[in-house]
Amino acid sequence: MKKKIDLSDRKYKIKKGDTVEVITGDNAGTRGEVLSIDRQKGRVFVKGVRLVKKTMPKSQENPKGGIIEKEASINVSNVMFVSKSGKITRIGRKIVDGVIKRFDKKSGEVLDK
């Protein structure tokens, strides 16, 4: 019998609100903001990346119904953080004043305030 592994506490160096660039796949080179992260599946939703069409039924919020474009998830390994200088970079972690903070590995700049 397989053990069920709880992945909900999985840590990622990318956070909601970060600007990222897609590095592989059909949308390679596209930049956008991280809308949300699914830690269970290891996937991220990036604004304006991997848009899919979805049919919506009629409802009070959407009285006409119809087809909408919505972001689909992509694997977290397929995106890289974009620094303030506009270059893609890796993110590291270091202890600053007794607190673990993220930092840009190219410039050494601390990201979390």
User: What is the length of the chain?
Assistant: 113
In a domain, 10, yes or no: no
Task: Name the domain count of the chain.
Answer: 2
Whether the pLDDT of residue 11 is over 90: the answer is no
> Same domain, yes or no, for 111 and 77?
no
Quick one: 96 and 72 in the same domain? no
Q: Are residues 45 and 70 in the same domain?
A: yes
Residues 77 and 27 in one domain: yes
Domain residues for the domain of 98 are: 86-113
Q: Using CA atoms, how far apart are residues 89 and 106, in angstroms rounded to an integer?
A: 6
94, β-bridge pairs: 101
Q: Do 111 and 70 reside in the same domain of the chain? A: no
- pTM for this structure? 0.81
Per-residue pLDDT tens over the stretch 12-62 = 899 999 999 999 999 999 999 999 999 989 999 999 999 999 999 999 988
